[in-house]
Chain A
Amino acid sequence: MNKMPFSKIVVIILTAIAVFLPIGLLLWQSFLDAPFFQPGKMYGLDAYRFIFEDPDFKRAFLNSFYISLGMAFISVPLGGLLAFLMVRTNIPGRNWIEPLLLIPVFVSPMILCFGYTVSVGPVGFISNWAQMIFGSVPWNIYSMTSIVVIAGLSHVPHVYIYSSSALRSLASDVEEAARVAGAGPLRVAATVSLPMVMPAMLYSGVLVFFLGFQVFGLALVLGDPEGHLVLATYLYKLTNKLGTPSYHLMAAVAMCIVAITVPMVLSQRFLLRNAHKYITLKGKGSRQRTLPLGGWRWVAAGLIAVWLAVTVVIPIVGIVFRAFVTNWGEGVTFIEAFTLNNFKDVFEQSNLMRGVINTILLGVIGGGLSVICFTFIGLASHRKNNGWTRLLDYTVMTPRAVPGLLAGLAFLWVFLFFPPLAPFRKTLFSLWLAYSVVWLAYGMRLVSTSLLQVGPELEECARVTGATPGQVNRHVTVPLIKYGLLASWLMIFMIFEREYSTGVYLLGPGTEVIGSLMVSLWAAGSIDIISALSFINILLVSVGMGIALRYGVKLHD
């Protein structure tokens, strides 16, 4: 029974290679003094010595740390509160607010930041109103504070997702007891509900904290004017500071990021175990009642509306506006600047058009293939607990610790120097593999959630009647989780549409996607085209969300 079938071991080994080969390359590169493929390279710690002595690295590290800290402090309480309001209280419009809350998860932060520049930048249209009312613009969107606040607000949904699912699995009897004893809603939230889901909130807090170290697009766009660096944009800067690209330095910075995030990813695993322990202690038969908020329900709804306006509406209106004008700013009216040329440019340039088509292909077909792969990986460790599955566990979690930008670079090296894969470098396959590995942890969570819902007795039943493990999977487990897998496909589609950093170094003819094109165009500075692409990207994500809503796919568990 406990002997691992050969096929499962193959799946596990392949997964491990896909994950550890690129990361191993990065590690090796960080101990060299020149690109690993150059003759005459030497081993040494020079790369680390250089970055540790560079004041910019220190600044970038501190900024990343502030962003992480700020994000945790902003998004954890707000996310928790939001979860409480949405799950436990009778605030108005719960059903239609829910999908809106998740928009920041599925829209690329680069797009949001372009939008912020247009709407609340120094001469943005909202800033111009503020100028008229207050005489000056009371905020500076390019300051470090703004970056931290925006990072924090846009990660509220991450905390919300975990806290709300934990809350949903808890019975509300304890809260009712507190109400009977005379506690107000806020007090119930602070002293009863949220402490009960503390493990889930802690888990998401750690998640947000290490996501903070990987912030890239946000700092790339908003940090540019005042030169605020974070670790990921410091990598970019290193290339030019020395004139020629310095892979060894970049790899060393990557290893520093990994060194910070790996322990956190591991601690998450520990926290998750605790989280499950709490939740499973509660019976399923208990009822959940909503808490009446009275007059406070409008205040609460107002708060959510403000958050939505700041995090979603303002940036998206900004970018949509920018996509339809030739130029903007003080004294420019929409009517005279209106144009459709930005879209015409996209449709006329073959690389941009390929980018749009590739993005769709990668999301739809690639997303589907990824879910199939994730399912195989999930089945390989399903209801097993031995050395192999523990290896798989760590393998699956590792990519989370590596920023997409660098994972992409590592995959470029793999496709350049690993002969069997070389022919695929200029095809979408290279991107697909990189995307699947970068989002492995996320995808596996989706798939294993479905897998865990299958009652073990059903599978045992099949085994008893003489089915082989393969037959059990084919005829029992997979058919049962069919809808869960379809939903996962949709989620992966949206995440692949949004991804922007993984493809940056893999970008070439045949492998263009909207996300990486935007990063590249940003370097060249064609804002007109970026806005049009952003608009198309938002449309694609909206289609995904529309399908999810139409067929009642839950956007999170």
Chain B
Amino acid sequence: MQRRTFLNRIKQVLIGICVVLAPVAVLAAPAGYPADYQKIIDAAKKEGKLVIYATTDTKAAEPIVKDFEALYPGIKVEYNDLNSTELYNRFIGEAAAGGGTGDVTWSSSMDLQVKLVQDGHALTYKSPEAKNLPGWANWKDQAFGTTYEPISIVYNKRLLKGDEIPKSHADLARVLTNPKLKGKIVTYDPERSGVGFSYLTQDLKNNGKGFWNMAKAFGDAKVKVYTSTGAMMEKVSSGEALMGYNIIGSYAFLKSKKDPSIGYLYPSDYTVVMSRVMFISKHAKNPNAAKLWADYLLSSRGQQIVSDKADLFAIRSDIKGETTMAKLSKQLGAGAKTIPISKETVEFLDQKKRLDFLKKWQQALGTVK
């Protein structure tokens, strides 16, 4: 009892110190940042506003936005939650019209983001936080990976048990022969979903020959294809489908917390890992606020919120918790296969390559001869 009160006492004192120091921290540039960082903060305050175009749900992003606004009072964030093609459309349209567009774009559609950067829409910015990122997550100081999200398999816990659940991609071929699963497997339609397309091409890269066998097994099991994670999750939860393939892990994790029917796993042979890509627009009206946001999102404070409150997966190795790269790396080991942020990412935006892949995919599924 005595001890407890003592500890509480210390806690209170510590909290008190934090409260006193917090405003100081706001006024000064964060530790380890360049000396002239204060200039950016002052300029950003003058801008007073930041427009973000993002694919992350408003609800998931809200804690991040709130914390950013608390850190830099006086900068109002206008957060736009768009789907990835809407975001791309809107961005190129507004960039061409010249009437101002998102200062920062932050999207899970990695290929479209890299394309925008390639087309010269990104501002080059040497973020003081960039050194804390894995090398692959920083492309020419223009595009930054901000999360580390595994692509998972979800299943209905009420209706699938034990051996009926696959452990790896290789194991999937065995599981798919189960007649119980016929017509009850869902995955993205690569023709209608850009992210679904990119996860499949990653599978092709990592699984090699096994990929086309898997596609054929999907075809034999009469896989159903959808355009959105949520729709698939709904089908798996209700039992209309029993298993969902290539579901973004952060959604699976979040849904499984709320919905007792949903279980999920990361394939043991390899797990594709995606990262939400962020860049600062060259056409930004509030470039300084955008820089603050970029640094904040990559900082340990921002990443802690990304992991704890937004239930996305933190990409920094120094963040601890359930949904972090540190934890995942331990779980997946060498099996984690990150999608690169580079020229390679846009390989399949080439029209002919894309249509060829789609045709082969349909042939393997048996939907087209």
* A417 on the B face (CB < 8 A): yes
Cβ contact within 8 Å between A523 and B59:
no
Q: Is the CB of B189 within 8 A of A227?
A: yes
Partner of A412, one of B93, B225, B229, B259: B93
A527:B234 contact, CB within 8 angstroms = yes
Q: Are B239 and A525 in contact (CB under 8 A)?
A: no
Nearest Cβ on chain B to A510's Cβ, whole angstroms: 9
Q: Are B86 and A241 in contact (CB under 8 A)?
A: no
Are B227 and A351 touching (Cβ within 8 A)? no
Map CB proximity to B onto A15-32 as digits: 1 under 8 Å, 0 otherwise: 000000000000000000
Instruction: Find out whether the CB atom of A245 lies under 8 angstroms from the CB atom of B88.
Output: yes
Residue of A nearest to B258 (CB): A326
Whole-angstrom CA separation of A354 from B189 in the bound complex: 32
For A227, what are the chain B residues with a Cβ–Cβ distance below 8 Å?
A: 189, 225
Chain A residues positioned under 8 Å from B86 (CB to CB)? 505, 507, 520
Interface presence of A522 (CB below 8 A): yes
Within the complex, the shortest CB–CB distance from B201 to chain A, in Å, comes to 11
Tier of interface size on chain A: 35 or more
Residue B50 at the chain A interface, CB threshold 8 Å:
no
Give every chain A residue within 8 A of B260 (Cβ-Cβ): 327
B76-84, B172-180, B269-277, B299-307: which lies at the interface: B76-84
Most chain A Cβ neighbours within 10 Å, of B59, B81, B189:
B81
Given A243-B351, A327-B261, A523-B227, are A417 and B97 neighbors across the interface (CB < 8 Å)? Answer: yes
Q: Which residues from B are CB-within-8-Å of A521?
A: 230
Q: Are B192 and A237 in contact (CB under 8 A)?
A: yes
Query: Is the CB of B89 closer than 8 A to any CB of chain A?
Result: yes
With A35-B96, A237-B191, A523-B228: A245-B351 Cβ-Cβ less than 8 Å: no
Partner of B354, one of A225, A236, A242, A413: A242
A36 to chain B, nearest CB (A): 9
Given contacts A240-B194, A326-B258, A526-B230, contact A123 B239 (CB under 8 A): yes
Let me know if B90 is at the binding interface, CB within 8 A.
yes
A349 within 8 A of B: yes
Interface string of A339-365 (1 = CB under 8 A from B): 000000100111110000000000000
Residue of B whose beta carbon sits closest to that of A409: B89
In chain A, positions 315-334 with a C-beta closer than 8 Å to chain B are: 326-332
- Which chain A residue lies CB-closest to B85? A239
Q: Is the CB of B88 within 8 A of A416?
A: no
The answer for the CA separation of A351 and B80 in the assembled complex, in Å, is 9
B212 within 8 A of A: no
A525-542, CB under 8 A of B: which get 1 and which 0?
Answer: 111000000000000000
Partner of B99, one of A38, A422, A527: A422
Q: Is A77 an interface residue (CB 8 A)?
A: no
If A509-B78, A525-B233 touch, whether A243 touches B261 (CB-CB below 8 Å) is no
A3 vs B206: C-alpha distance when bound (angstroms):
77
| Complex CA–CA separation, A330 to B261 (angstroms) | 10
Q: Is B207 an interface residue (CB 8 A)?
A: no
Interface centre among B78, B194, B234, B260 (most CB of A within 10 A): B234
Q: Which of B90, B97, B112, B259 is in CB contact (< 8 Å) with A244?
A: B112
Evaluate contact between A524 and B354: CB separation under 8 angstroms. no
Contact with B along A210-233 (1 / 0, CB 8 A): 000000000000001111000000
Q: B132-176 toward A: CB 8 Å interface, digit per residue (1/0)?
A: 000000000000000000000000001100000000000000000
Please name all residues of chain A whose beta carbon is closer than 8 Å to the beta carbon of B124 when the two chains form the complex. none
A350 pairs with B234, CB closer than 8 A: no
Let me know if A403 is at the binding interface, CB within 8 A. no
Residues of chain B lying within 8 A (CB to CB) of residue A413? 93
- Return the chain A residue nearest B349 by Cβ: A243
Nearest residue (CB) in A for B236 is A329
Q: Is A121 an interface residue (CB 8 A)?
A: yes
Binding site for A on B (CB under 8 A): 55, 57-59, 62, 78-83, 85-86, 88-90, 92-94, 96-97, 99, 111-112, 115, 158-159, 189, 191-194, 197, 224-235, 237-240, 258-261, 348-349, 351, 354-355, 358
Sample 11 A-B pairs with CB under 8 A, ordered by A number. A38-B96, A240-B193, A243-B197, A243-B354, A244-B88, A327-B259, A327-B260, A329-B239, A330-B159, A416-B94, A525-B229
Hey, which bits of chain A sit against chain B, CB under 8 A? 35, 37-38, 121-123, 224-227, 236-237, 239-245, 326-332, 345, 348-352, 412-413, 416-417, 422, 425, 505, 507-509, 520-527
- Given contacts A237-B192, A239-B89, list 16 more A-B pairs with CB under 8 A: A225-B235, A240-B193, A241-B191, A241-B192, A243-B348, A243-B349, A244-B115, A245-B85, A329-B240, A352-B58, A416-B99, A509-B79, A521-B230, A525-B232, A526-B57, A527-B231
The 8 lowest CB-CB distance pairs between A and B, nearest first, are A525-B230, A329-B238, A525-B228, A37-B96, A329-B239, A243-B349, A416-B97, A330-B239
